[in-house]
């Protein structure tokens, strides 16, 4: 007799700051989990559709069904097939694409009934088809990101080892804590991932130290920083993961370690979401 399927786990990859590696992290986390036997879906929640393009679909605005289509149907209380529009990547991961239409849809969500639960409604039926769903969030703390947090089990925060990126995490943690308190009591802050790191520089080393000291007591900071690498950008341009494009490189090794930590922690209780006290260096 086969064992019952473990519940699908939903990860939101979130940072209100752009250019910190959210999309690259979503791609490589998802495909890394596929390589470890999981059935995984990525949902592109950014109207710029960077996730969609980086997986090889260069004209997202021409697609007949995207996440904007499905959200529109939910807002209008129309029937919808949650599997419609899902794309299948050569490396085994599935994708619900985005398009520029999502920018207008987010405005409509503001006045919708149960506006924070729209994405959760869409994902509810999809969860039976997947082991993991990864939500690639936009670089804002707007309605789409609130929906992602409301629908997720865990939050992963990519952050560059730069001063302004580090101090900006307090606002994000406050938002996560508020969603946990008011909307999604089971939400957990899974961890902070250092990305685009040139650890040979004094600035990067000092900033990582600040992050670990300020937040490490209440939030996991993943062990292996993701190094800055042009190969990662080249992989995205080629529509591939770093595992397929440069499997023996430092970035591939670092993302493999992230995948192992995330998988190891799955099902365990994550850190309580709370804002760490500043050490006085964020003035």
Q: What is the mean pLDDT of residues 61-65?
A: 95
**What is the spatial order of strands in the sheet that 94-96 belongs to?**
87-88, 94-96, 40-44, 132-136, 9-13, 154-159, 188-194
Residue 189, strand partner residues: 155, 271
Q: How many CB atoms lie within 10 A of CB 184?
A: 20
For residue 274, the model assigns a pLDDT of 45
Cβ within 8 Å of residue 200, ≥6 positions away: none
Q: What is the DSSP letter of 239?
A: T
Inform me whether the pLDDT recorded for 66 exceeds 80. yes
Alpha carbon distance 169, 188 (integer Å): 15
Q: What is the DSSP letter of 173?
A: H
Q: Comparing C-alpha atoms, which of 69, 84, 64, 9 is closest to residue 39?
A: 9
Domains and CATH numbers, the chain: 9-265 (3.40.50.300)
Alpha carbon distance 153, 10 (integer Å): 5
For residue 273, the model assigns a pLDDT of 44
Alpha carbon distance 186, 151 (integer Å): 10
With 0.75 as the threshold, say if the pTM is over it.
Answer: yes
Q: What is the mean pLDDT of residues 84-109?
A: 95
For residue 165, the model assigns a pLDDT of 72
Q: Which two tokens stand for residue 180?
A: 């946990």
Asked if residues 84 and 65 have their Cβ atoms less than 8 Å apart, the reply is: yes
Q: In terms of C-beta density within 10 A (0-12 exposed, 13-18 middle, 19 or more buried), how is residue 38 classed? A: buried
For residue 268, the model assigns a pLDDT of 61
Q: Which two tokens stand for residue 244?
A: 């397929």
* Per-residue model confidence as pLDDT tens digits over 106-152: 889 988 888 999 999 999 989 999 999 999 999 999 999 999 999 99
């Amino acid at each position: 007799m086969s064992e019952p399927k473990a519940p699908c786990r939903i990860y939101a990859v979130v940072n209100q700051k752009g250019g910190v590696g959210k999309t690259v992290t979503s791609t490589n986390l998802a495909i890394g989990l596929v390589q470890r036997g999981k059935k995984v879906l990525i949902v592109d929640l950014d109207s710029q559709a960077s996730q969609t393009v980086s997986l090889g679909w260069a004209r997202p605005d021409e697609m007949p069904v995207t996440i904007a289509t499905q959200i529109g149907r939910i807002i209008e209380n129309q029937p919808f097939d949650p599997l419609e529009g899902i794309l299948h990547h050569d490396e085994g991961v599935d994708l619900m694409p985005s398009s520029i239409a999502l920018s207008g849809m987010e405005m409509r969500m503001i006045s919708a009934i149960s506006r924070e639960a729209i994405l959760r409604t869409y994902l509810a039926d999809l969860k039976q088809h997947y082991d993991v769903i990864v939500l690639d969030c936009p670089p804002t703390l707007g309605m789409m990101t609130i929906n992602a947090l409301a629908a997720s089990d865990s939050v992963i925060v990519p952050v560059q080892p730069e001063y302004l990126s580090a101090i900006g995490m307090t606002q994000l943690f406050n938002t996560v804590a508020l969603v946990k308190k008011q909307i999604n009591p089971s939400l957990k802050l899974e961890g902070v991932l250092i990305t685009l790191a040139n650890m040979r520089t004094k600035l990067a080393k000092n900033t990582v130290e600040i992050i670990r000291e300020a937040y490490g007591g209440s939030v996991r900071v993943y062990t292996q920083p993701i190094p800055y690498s042009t190969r990662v950008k080249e992989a995205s341009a080629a529509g591939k993961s770093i595992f397929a494009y440069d499997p023996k490189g430092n970035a591939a090794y670092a993302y493999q370690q992230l995948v192992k930590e995330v998988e190891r922690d799955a099902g365990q209780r994550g850190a309580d979401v709370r804002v760490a006290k500043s050490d006085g260096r964020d003035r």
